[in-house]
């Protein structure tokens, strides 16, 4: 488990806008660790966690005028049923609200990167709870459909 800087970029919802931001990140050799894009009518919100926050700031400063940044919790998980739910349950058990979350695409049987946005005052509590990337099962079982 670690904390990282997440960038929220507010995009006009039209062809080529996402490509221009991600293309410039690529040209500057900034690797995207995880991303999520949400539609909000005429605009969208692109959330990015990259390997180099300073370089990301420079790219966004040149290519975009509407973006913010915040700290998020980033956790490597097994790419298997219930891995994400175990972390969500563990945080819930401690009364920690997850404002939003998303995952990178993981290879079957491999690992995936999960990003959790929690209140800034909860980040240290989450770090202690998930110490060392440890996402062990919570006390609450993950419910599965019969036959799975």
pLDDT value for 137: 44
Give the chain's domains with CATH numbers. 2-68 (3.30.2130.10), 72-131 (3.30.70.260)
pTM comes to 0.81
Question: Which of 75-79, 95-99, 134-138 is predicted least confidently?
Answer: 134-138
> What pLDDT shows up at residue 7?
97
pLDDT, mean of residues 111-117: 92
- The 10 Å CB-count burial string (b at 16+, else e) for 87-122 is bbbbbeeeebebeebbbbebeeeeebbbbbbbeeeb
Flag whether pLDDT at 5 surpasses 90.
Answer: yes
Compute the average pLDDT of residues 79-107: 91
Residues 120 and 96 sit within 8 Å (Cβ to Cβ)? no
**Per-residue pLDDT for 36 more than 70?**
yes
3-state secondary structure 38-70: EEECCEEEEEEEECCHHHHHHHHHHHCCCEEEE
């Amino acid at each position: 488990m670690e904390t990282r800087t997440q960038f929220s970029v507010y995009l006009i919802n039209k062809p080529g806008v996402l490509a221009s931001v991600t293309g410039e990140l690529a040209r500057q050799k900034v690797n995207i660790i995880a991303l999520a894009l949400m539609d909000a009518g005429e605009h969208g919100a692109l959330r990015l966690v990259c390997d180099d926050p300073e370089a990301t700031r420079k790219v966004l400063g040149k290519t975009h005028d509407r973006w913010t940044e915040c700290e998020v919790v980033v956790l490597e998980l097994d790419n298997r049923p219930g891995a994400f739910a175990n972390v969500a349950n563990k945080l819930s058990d401690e009364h920690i609200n997850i404002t939003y979350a998303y995952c990178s695409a993981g290879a079957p049987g491999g690992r995936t990167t999960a990003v959790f946005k929690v209140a800034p005052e909860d980040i240290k509590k989450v770090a202690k709870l998930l110490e060392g990337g440890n996402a062990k099962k919570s006390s609450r079982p993950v419910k599965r459909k019969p036959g799975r």
